[in-house]
Structure 1
Amino acid sequence: MFKTLWFKVLVGMVLGVVVGLMLSPNAFALVSKEVAFTIAPWVALAGNIFLALIKMVVIPLVMSSIILGITSADNTETLKSLGMKIAPYFVFTTIVAVTLGLIIALYINPGQYVSKDILNTISTSSIVIKEVNPISNTSIPDMIVDLIPVNVSQAELDGNILFFVILAIFVGVALMNMEDEDSKPMKDLAKSFQAFSMTVVSWAMKLAPYAVFGLLCSITIKIGFDAISSMSMYVFTVLLGLFSLLCFYLTVVYLSSKIKPLDFLRKVREVQLMAFSTSSSAAVMPLSMKTAEDKLNVPTPISKFVIPLGATINMDGTAIYQVIAAIFLTQLFGIDLSLTQMVILALTTVAASIGAPSTPGVGIVILATILQSLGVPVEGIALILGVDRILDMCRTTINVTGDLTASLVMKKLVNISSQEADVAKEINALKQKVSKEN
């Protein structure tokens, strides 16, 4: 057990919180505030290097994985079946998440537990939110056209991974409709890119326990007890929503694969711990694919297609967080939402969560868009910034759990077994061997 990654990560998490509380000015304060805040970025260095390594290879990893996932399907019927089922499934689960968030937030009413005097402490200069174009200003036909990846360089600058996902899907489908002689060089290139990406990821994973310690220690130094205690009911509401969504996933897993909840959680615990520690779906994508194939027996064509796609557009944890945060702030600012506005809020959240970059802190940017549509002052985000990173870690854990759940559901719906996938691999290997000999 002491050699397993999940145990090392767990130890790093515990030590990070303990050391952070000892140094935090808002907790035990063993050192002065200036010294603690000077130590924080140095402690987080390993974690930031870890995240930077993952960000460096996330685009080639996503593209190569999706291309290989599509081309390994061997026939267009399997691919069509997978594509036609995964999109409605992702939309369905996002709608479930948003509905759960609305029900829980309206029932608990977390805004009433925060003193209105706290609004006077908001400083507009304390937050910097990236400017986001409101979704309502773009027509649906324009949104559809904008999905086609025309300017790849701009997409990379904007961190729009969805563009690269769509580009990879186009490339993969095109390769399946080409002659083997013409498609082979590009398939080999995709394999090389994936091998390169996985090599860099393997280097990064050696840093994982130290990265987890550094990131959590740095966060704890900055927030301490005060930020969490003053927003305890809001934090409880979000965590309850995420737990409800996890229960929904466990039910789906049992109904689709007959895997008991505790067995499923035991198999995916490494992925969940890594997601909780890094707050990045992209960072755990390689581990998610490996877990899906090795521990959940998901065929490679499905795992390589569903996991990268899910890490980009299946953000159910983020969606439920956004809708609860929006309802919380409307309650705090005394804004009464009509039924129509709630429906608009739900639809906006679904649309905004799809295609969100799978990197830490992106939920705040998306939340700014939603708040603007409701008439809530964006400055209200300053109230939840103190606890956002902790909640970001929790919702990322649910996001990756949803991706693994989706891979099991697609395995059931597409009717491709692991044995069939292995046979397909052997046939491909024989074909390549024969072609080389010829």
Structure 2
Amino acid sequence: MDNTPAQTTDNAPRSLRHLSVYLATLVKGRLWLKVLIGMGLGLVVGTLLGPSVGLVEPETGTLIGNWLAFPGQLFLATIQMIVIPLVIASVVRGLAASDNLEQLRKMGIRVTLFFVITTAIAATIGLWVGGLVNPGDLMTGLTTPPADAAPVAADIPGLDAIPQTLIGLLPGNPLDAMVEGQMLQVVIFSIIIGVALVSMSGDKAKPMLDLLDSLQQICMTVVRWAMHLDPYAVFGLMAQLTTTLGFRAMIGMASYVATVLFGLAVLMVFYLVILKLLAGVRPLQFLKDTRDVLLLAFSTSSSAAVMPLSIRTAEDKLGVRPSVSQFVTP
């Protein structure tokens, strides 16, 4: 098998790094603060227009709320539109950054085990926090289930169904998987394409990598456009939600939000302990080095949007090799 690297250093997928400069300017421009201000203003405006205060008629308040939410819906639709092609281009080019199949195999096994174990731990923490706080009690009245509603039991596949389930992860039609938003199938398809490119000679893989590079650039350009809408999007969506539900219902939903934030804080502590024990990285230093990424991810609620800044931070501030950062981050 030809283990010639699929690309030389000149062709390595480092083109996203220059986009991180723009993302860093968003952090310096305090996008996170603008988002918080937009959230607060949206809560105030929605309360004034909603049933809690009754400043306007309910129909008028709903109409105004729908128009205020237009920037937010446009922002979400734009991100949703671009996320699948961005993931495909980033995963394939990230895999192609590996020097050869042997390096890819070793790294892939370690990364897969790490993700599986930490995901299981994250799910356990989520179940524990949800059972401890039980935010549903504080949200009583937001939704009213039918009187005859019965709990639905989850179907757990038997051992005989596991092979068919695994085969089902392979997209029989990748285009259908993209249209239906089957992200796991899309990622698996991208991994297969990326491994195939690594196994090819550089001159044969280069045209596809150049095409994916252009696709990546296009996606990030659209994401950059969407960033300008972020504070207005948060303001409009919060105003519409408060207008529809009222301030009291929003307090009940805040209990759920607080529960999620508490669970994420516990998970962050877990990761910081892993960093200290396995990598010898001081938690406070790590938070300082990744501050820009964390603030921007909070501001946009999109890990895909901050991918260039994540890669640059991993390489420049955390000392991660480019072949590792560009493979693991996507």
Q: TM tier, shorter chain?
A: 0.7 to 0.9
Q: 1:74 aligns with which of 71, 94, 99?
A: 99
| 1:359 matched residue in structure 2 | none
What CA distance in whole angstroms lies between the structure 1 residues aligned with 2:304 and 2:123?
A: 23
**Structure 2: runs of 5+ lacking an equivalent:** 1-23, 148-153
Counterpart Cα distance in 2 of 1:293 and 1:45: 38
Please say which of residues 251-260 and 60-69 is displaced more in the overlay. Answer: 251-260
| One-letter identity of the residue aligned with 1:83 | G
Aligned position for 1:434: none
Say whether 1:141 aligns with 2:166: no
Q: Does 1:22 align with 2:45?
A: yes
State the one-letter code of the partner of 1:306.
Answer: V
Q: Which has the higher contact order (CA 8 A, sep 6+)?
A: 2
Offset, 1:235? 5.2
Identity %: 43
What's the secondary structure of 1:73's corresponding residue?
coil
Gaps of 5+ in 1: 126-132, 309-438
**One-letter amino acid of the counterpart of residue 42, structure 1:** W
The within-5 A match list for 1:33-182 is 33-108=58-133, 118=140, 122-124=144-146, 134=155, 136=157, 139-182=161-204
Output one character per residue of 1:376-410: Cα deviation in whole Å (capped at 9) or x when no partner.
Answer: xxxxxxxxxxxxxxxxxxxxxxxxxxxxxxxxxxx
Q: Return closer, same or farther for 1:26/1:94 CA change in 2, 3 Å cut-off.
A: farther
Which residue number corresponds to residue 33 of structure 2? 10
Deviation of 1:257 (Å)? 4.2
Aligned in 2, Cα 1:262/1:122: closer, same or farther, shift over 3 Å?
A: same
Please, what TM-score do these two structures have when normalized by structure 2? 0.75
Task: Classify the secondary structure of the residue corresponding to 1:173.
Answer: helix
Does residue 247 of structure 2 align to residue 225 of structure 1?
A: yes
Deviations 1:352-380 (A, max 9, x none): xxxxxxxxxxxxxxxxxxxxxxxxxxxxx
Taking the TM superposition and a 5 Å limit, the aligned residue runs for 1:329-344 are none
| 1:181 counterpart letter in structure 2 | D
CA distance in 1, matches of 2:226, 2:70: 13
Once the two structures are TM-superposed, the CA of residue 175 in structure 1 deviates from its matched residue by 1.4
More helix by share: 1
Alignment partner, residue 223 of structure 2: 201
Count of residues in Structure 1 that have an aligned counterpart in Structure 2: 296
Write the distance in 2 (CA, Å) between the matches of 1:227 and 1:120: 6
User: Cα–Cα, structure 1 residues 251 and 28, in superposed 2: closer, same or farther, change >3 Å?
Assistant: farther
Aligned to 1:242: 264
Task: Report which stretch shifted further, 98-107 or 59-68.
Answer: 98-107
Aligned residue among 237, 243, 251 for 1:215: 237
Distance 2:291 2:239 in 1: 21
- Show CA shifts across 1:207-251 (max 9, x none): 333333333443344444322444666555444322211211222
Tell me which amino acid in the other structure corresponds to 2:249: A
8 A Cα contact 2:242 2:250, kept in partner: no
Distance in 2 (alpha carbons) for counterparts of 1:82 and 1:47: 39
**Matched residues in 2 for 1:46 and 1:89: separation?**
38
1: CA distance, partners of 2:271 / 2:141 = 37
Q: How has the CA–CA distance of structure 1 residues 64 and 114 changed in structure 2, closer, same or farther, with 3 Å as cutoff? A: closer
- Of stretches 76-85 and 258-267 in structure 1, the one that deviates more from structure 2 is 258-267
Change (3 A) 1:262 1:10: farther
* Structure 1 residue 142, shift from structure 2 partner: 0.8
Distance 2:156 2:221 in 1: 38
In the TM superposition, what is the alpha-carbon distance from 1:169 to its structure 2 partner? 1.2
Q: Which residue of 2 aligns with 1:188?
A: 210
Stretch of structure 1 that moved more, 162-171 or 134-143: 134-143
TM-score, scaled relative to structure 1: 0.58
CA apart distance, 1:155: 0.8
CA contact (8 A) 2:99 2:323 kept: no
Classify 1:214/1:290 alpha carbon distance in 2 versus 1 (closer, same or farther; 3 Å): farther
Q: Distance in 2 between matches of 1:230 and 1:203?
A: 34
- Distance (whole Å) between structure 1 residues aligned to residue 228 and residue 52 of structure 2: 31
Residue type of the partner of 1:171? I
Instruction: Determine helix, strand or coil for the equivalent of 1:122.
Output: coil
Q: What secondary structure does 1:139 align onto?
A: helix
Is the Cα contact below 8 Å between 1:267 and 1:296 reproduced in 2? yes
